[in-house]
Amino acid sequence: MATQKLTLKRSFTTVFAGLLLTQHLVFAQSAPNHEDAFWYVQGQISTLSDHKDASFQAALGGPVRVDGSQALNNGRSGSLAVGRQMTYRDDNGDKIPLRLELESWSGRYARERVSLGVRTETVNDQVRFNVIFLNAAIRLAESEKKYAETLSPVGQFWLKAGVGLGTGKYPDTTYNFGCACMRAADSRAASYQLQLIYEVQSSKNVQIFGQLGRVWLPSVGTEIGLGGSQTRYQKLGTDTVSLGLRYAFH
């Protein structure tokens, strides 16, 4: 499992670094076409994949550790972003559109059940995440049909990768389990995302887009209590399906 997580992290880092390197190389070799460059703001809503047995580990004090699981369902998220699209030309004169954006992402899960050792409790509370992402995107393909007013492609595919700082919040369940290790958890850690986007130009300044991807949400731990009691919730790799709207301006 540790090897798989390390491989996923390395794969993501490679993709994100590759996108940034591509932008850096293009920036270094050609000047941007400012007539094609624009700012944009966008918003999106998403559904998040369920986690029927999301794992965690509780340190009860001393060397005693107990594995647990929880059911996280009905995940939803929303985000707002501001970004800049720039167009460069390669040695053949072909345009290379690239984007950089800053995104504020918020999501939540309904937590129905928590199991610790042989004991299972129904909790019906909510787990929440907030992430600030720095994203880079490159266009993969475009339609031949152009939008008349802007001459931009009617349909486009983009690949986006992002890294950010995420906060996870798990509610207190000490009452349910009678263990100080199950206090409320609230901590920050690195988060990542990788998204495939298809967008359609619906008017001169507006694009509608759909998005399929994956978000890696942070591992979260409670503060260490007496005797070293603590609970550590594992990082969540969550599949996302999104629908959004982008407004462009100069």
DSSP structure string for 110-146: EEEEEEETTEEEEEEEEEEEEEEEEEEEEEEEE-S-B
Phi-psi category of residue 40: left, alpha or beta, with phi > 0 → left and psi -120 to 50 → alpha: beta
Annotated domain spans of the chain: 2-49+77-108+127-174+184-217+236-249
pLDDT of 79: 98
CB atoms < 10 A from the CB of 198, how many?
A: 15
The CA distance from 159 to 12, in Å, is: 12
Along the 250 residues of the chain, how does pLDDT read in single tens digits?
444 444 445 555 555 555 555 555 545 455 555 557 899 999 999 999 999 999 999 988 778 889 999 999 999 999 999 999 998 877 777 778 999 999 999 999 999 999 998 899 999 999 999 999 999 999 999 888 888 777 678 899 999 999 999 999 999 998 888 888 888 999 899 999 999 999 999 998 999 999 999 999 999 988 777 667 789 999 999 999 999 999 999 8
Q: What is the predicted pLDDT for the residue at 20?
A: 57
The pLDDT of residue 182:
87
CATH, range 2-49+77-108+127-174+184-217+236-249:
2.40.160.20
Q: Report whether 117 contacts 68 (CB < 8 A).
A: yes
For residue 178, the model assigns a pLDDT of: 83
* pTM for this model (two decimals): 0.84
**CB 54, CB 233: distance < 8 Å:** yes
142: β partners: 156
Pairing of strands 155-170, 119-142: antiparallel
Which residue from 211, 218, 221, 212 is spatially nearest to 237, judged by alpha carbons? Answer: 218
pLDDT at 59: 86
